[in-house]
Chain A
Amino acid sequence: MKYVDEYRDGALARTVAAAIRAEADGARSYRFMEFCGGHTHAIARYGLEDLLPANVRMIHGPGCPVCVLPIGRVDAAVRLASQPGVTLATYGDLMRVPGSKGVSLQKAKAAGADIRMVYSTLDALRIAEAEPGREVVFFAIGFETTTPPTAVALRMAEARGLANFSVFCNHVVTPAAMRAILTASGGVPLDGFVGPAHVSTVIGTAPYAFCATEFAKPVVIAGFEPLDVMQSVLMLVRQVNAGRCAVENQYVRAVTPAGNRKAQDLVAELFELREAFEWRGLGLLPNSALKLRPAFARFDAEARFAVETVAAADNPACDCGAILRGMKRPPDCRLFGRACTPENPIGACMVSSEGACAAHWTYGRFREPVRAVPIERVLP
């Protein structure tokens, strides 16, 4: 496949791996957090851990929008979808996220709620156009990468005069979460970040400068292909070895320092920062999420349907929080692979394929010692 195979070249990977082994200082360890779930997935899917020396450890960060969505918001979405006349259009990986008492959108759908899986915001718009008698709510979720498509859909709904389309907005912003990880007391000691790829195509590299200047942590913006990740790790090792802290850009084929101004302007026209938003695992973070500006309140499902978000506690045995902060590895959780599997997720990290637990369970669990529960127990 053109423009993809080049970044999955095994021979080139071995060359980069050899360089990392040669340059990593055997007298110390390196702990790099890949912020994005996309990187977590690539690391697990391509078996990158096998290519890194033992003293270079990757720590999985909270950059999976499904994983950080708190239970209260899932509950709110279920309540919204259960209202008569409402159709909730959602991306597929939200369907299985368990809310309170294990009620997910999938379960609500089976119980009769009109919930439809879509692949893009435009699919949701099409439903609204085709079925004017229904109130179509798009479950908007994601980091800076997915906000512009939501903004475009809103602009299109406005232009077409669609009165039955609205958005349940859960868009979050990346730098706020990175700051939260760096300031968390008792947090895991980090030596640098593998920075977001697609988020940075929109916001550019400048918003991460505080990591280097305030917290003295190197950042390398990395593409999502496995060679991108390997090269970025090498760049981080070199920064650490040289005692440098800078925001470097490995993903030069898509990311510029200023990012996509047009997308940024569009988002700014429609959205504003929430004072605070709850992130699963990270708690209530100031200025970390977006809501629709008052001028667009008619498109805001929260205003339109008076949906309240009631905070709900995670399962006390679930370590998603500590895992999302990089303080624990998935197998450290008591539930991992026992009560909690991709078929029956308890924590959100097990739901999305980008979640640290799902990625480790799906691709990497052969690295763990044999678990008490035989694998058959969790199979269909």
Chain B
Amino acid sequence: MTFAARMLTPRYGRLDLKAGRVEMTHGAGGRAMAQLIGEIFRPALANEFLSQGNDQAIVPLPAGGRLAMTTDGYVVSPLFFPGGDIGSLAIHGTVNDLAMAGAVPLYLTANFVIEEGFALADLNRIATSMGAAARDAGVPVVAGDTKVVERGKADGLYISTAGVGVVPAGLDLSGDRARPGDAVILSGTIGDHGVAIMSSRENLTFETAVLSDSAALHGLVAGMVAAAGPALKLMRDPTRGGLAATLNEVARQSSVGVLIEEAAIPVRPQVAAACELLGLDPLNVANEGKLVAVVEARMADALIEVMRAHQLGRDAVRIGTVTRDDQHFVQMTTAFGGKRIVDWLAGEQLPRIC
């Protein structure tokens, strides 16, 4: 903005980021909305594409490869939880959805639905956290949208993010590529995110030191793709429904069975204890910074070694094997020595986990 233009702009007081609240006018398309964007979102998410200031962002397209696109809505409750908040989660979740295809994530967009009366301080905190997560991941938020709905028509804040990335030529990761004999590898402990969320719900207060594992996995993935090459068949991030849902998806998509070893699956003692108390199975509890990889067995050890060298894969471990099974069951040898099915979660375990 030129100095002359600034002279013509009416002077408003700055947003009160301590005690102010979102009002309907902040979504009405007028100056109040411009101020909300200008004082909260633009500084928090700053990058050259966002500051183009048009109805769309024009971004350079790398040559070669195929485009990967994804979108995800975030309605997590509470908005702030140990180890993260809805802002960082909205970056990590969408980056991870791209990364699971081996895509290099390039750009994100974000859409905010805000309830009238939402504290500007919280909105600022969330936008700042979102910007930090995007910068850490190296994936800018290039376009955004803000809507405000009347009090009671939303629960504080919902965020949707969409992302695009590029899958390098020759890389073909897909849920239907698991074959009997392939190794199933898990990048670390399960259940951390779900238990962190539960520990901060008001009607479920128990003190726990568990932090959400919310993290962007594309760095870890890049090393895995480089190390395993075409031996790497597929990757999935076990979010809602947990490891159990992810393995069942793979079994169904690839028309195979999966056999895992309970004793091999890493679960933090605090997570195991919380699940025990609440009658949950850690296999069904959500993660936001973990991945499952299926790889040809001959490459399993080498891949695990590469994963363990990365901060987000240091607890990587082989948990099982893809099997031939006409019924596409995921089965588990229990630590007790018996066998059982690992099923999809029936019904609702905990709503609004992400």
Q: How far is the CA of A13 from the CA of B337 in the complex (A)?
A: 8
Inter-chain CA distance A341–B344, complex, in Å, is 12
In the bound complex, do residue A10 and residue B336 qualify as a contact, i.e. CB atoms below 8 Å apart? yes
A366 touches B341 (CB 8 A): yes
Whole-angstrom distance from the CB of A256 to the nearest CB of chain B?
Answer: 24
* Among listed B5-13, B34-42, B121-129, B268-276, interface-contacting one: B268-276
How distant is the Cα of A119 from the Cα of B279 in the complex, in angstroms? Answer: 11
Whether B328 and A119, one on each chain, are in contact in the complex, defined by CB atoms closer than 8 angstroms, is no
Tell me if A49 and B344 are in contact (CB < 8 A): no
Cβ of A47 within 8 Å of any chain B Cβ, yes or no, is: yes
B61 at the interface (CB under 8 A from A): no
**Known A1-B273, A366-B327, A366-B331: A47·B338 in contact at CB below 8 Å:** yes
Interface check A65, CB cutoff 8 A: no
Residues of B within 8 A of A358 (CB): 346
> A46 is contacted by which of B269, B278, B338, B341 (Cβ under 8 Å)?
B338
Bound-state CA distance A44–B340 (Å) is 7
B271 to A, closest residue via Cβ: A1
Residues in B neighbouring A366, C-beta threshold 8 A: 327, 329, 331, 339, 341
Does A47 contact B204, Cβ atoms closer than 8 Å?
Answer: no
Q: Which of A4, A342, A353 contacts B276 (CB 8 A)?
A: A4
| Nearest CB on B from A43, distance (A) | 9
Q: In the complex where A1-B272, A119-B203 touch, is A47 in contact with B340 (Cβ < 8 A)?
A: yes
Residue B335 interfacial (CB < 8 Å): yes
Residue among B279, B331, B334 with the most chain A CB within 10 A? B334
Measured in the bound complex, the distance between the Cα atoms of B202 and A123 in whole Å is 10
> Known contacts being A47-B339, A47-B340, is A343 close to B272, with CB within 8 Å?
no
Q: Give bound CA distance, A219 to B231, whole Å.
A: 56
Q: B207 in the interface, Cβ–Cβ < 8 Å?
A: no
- Digit string of B152-166 for contact with A (CB within 8 Å is 1, else 0)? 000000000000000
Q: Contact between B204 and A119 (Cβ–Cβ < 8 Å)? A: yes
B contact residues around A361 at 8 Å (CB): 343
Contact A342:B340 (CB < 8 A) given known A366-B327, A375-B327, A379-B252: no
Residues of chain A with a CB closer than 8 A to B276's CB:
1, 4
Q: Closest CB-CB distance, A10 to chain B, in whole Å? A: 5
Chain B residues near A126 (CB-CB < 8 A)? 203
Instruction: Tell whether, in the assembled complex, residue B340 and residue A363 are in contact, meaning their CB atoms are under 8 Å apart.
Output: yes
Is B347 an interface residue when CB atoms closer than 8 A count as contact? yes
Contact with B along A121-151 (1 / 0, CB 8 A): 0010010000000000000000000000000
In the complex, how many angstroms separate the beta carbon of B270 from the nearest chain A beta carbon? 9
Contact among A1, A343, A364 for B346, CB-based, below 8 A: A343
A266 part of interface (Cβ distance < 8 Å): no
A contact residues around B55 at 8 Å (CB): none
Q: Which residues of B contact A363 (CB under 8 A)?
A: 340-341, 343
Q: Which residues of B contact A95 (CB under 8 A)?
A: 347
Asked whether B340 lies within 8 Å of A364 as measured between CB atoms, the reply is yes
Q: Is the CB of A365 within 8 A of B347?
A: no
Are the CB atoms of B326 and A370 closer together than 8 Å?
yes
A1 in contact with B269 (CB, 8 Å): yes
Residue of A nearest to B343 (CB): A362
Does B327 lie within 8 Å of A342, measured CB to CB? no
A46 to B281, CA, bound (A): 12
Identify the closest chain A residue to B332 (Cβ).
Answer: A47
Residues of A within 8 A of B328 (CB): 375-376
Look across to chain A and name the residue whose beta carbon is closest to the beta carbon of B349. A92
Across the two chains, which residue of chain B brings its CB closest to A378?
Answer: B344
B347 with A46: CB separation less than 8 A: no
Contact A51 B341 (CB under 8 A): no
Q: Are B346 and A50 in contact (CB under 8 A)?
A: no
Bound form: Cα–Cα A358–B346 in Å: 10
When distances are taken between beta carbons in the complex, the residues of chain A under 8 Å from B338 are 46-51
Interchain CB contact under 8 A, B334 and A47? yes
Q: A45 contacts the other chain (Cβ, under 8 Å)?
A: yes
Bound together, the chains give a CA A13 to CA B263 distance in angstroms of 15
Q: Is A321's CB within 8 Å of the partner chain B?
A: no
Report Cα–Cα, A1/B346, bound state, in Å: 26
A119 to B347, alpha carbons, bound, how many Å? 17
B330: nearest chain-A partner, CB-CB: A366
When distances are taken between beta carbons in the complex, the residues of chain A under 8 Å from B263 are 10
B240 to chain A, nearest CB (A): 11
Q: A341-B346, A366-B327 are in contact. List 5 more A-B contacts (CB 8 A).
A: A10-B335, A13-B337, A14-B337, A45-B340, A353-B279
Sample 22 A-B pairs with CB under 8 A, ordered by A number. A1-B273, A4-B273, A8-B336, A13-B336, A13-B337, A17-B337, A44-B340, A45-B334, A46-B338, A46-B340, A47-B336, A119-B203, A119-B278, A226-B336, A341-B346, A342-B343, A362-B343, A366-B329, A366-B331, A366-B339, A375-B329, A380-B344
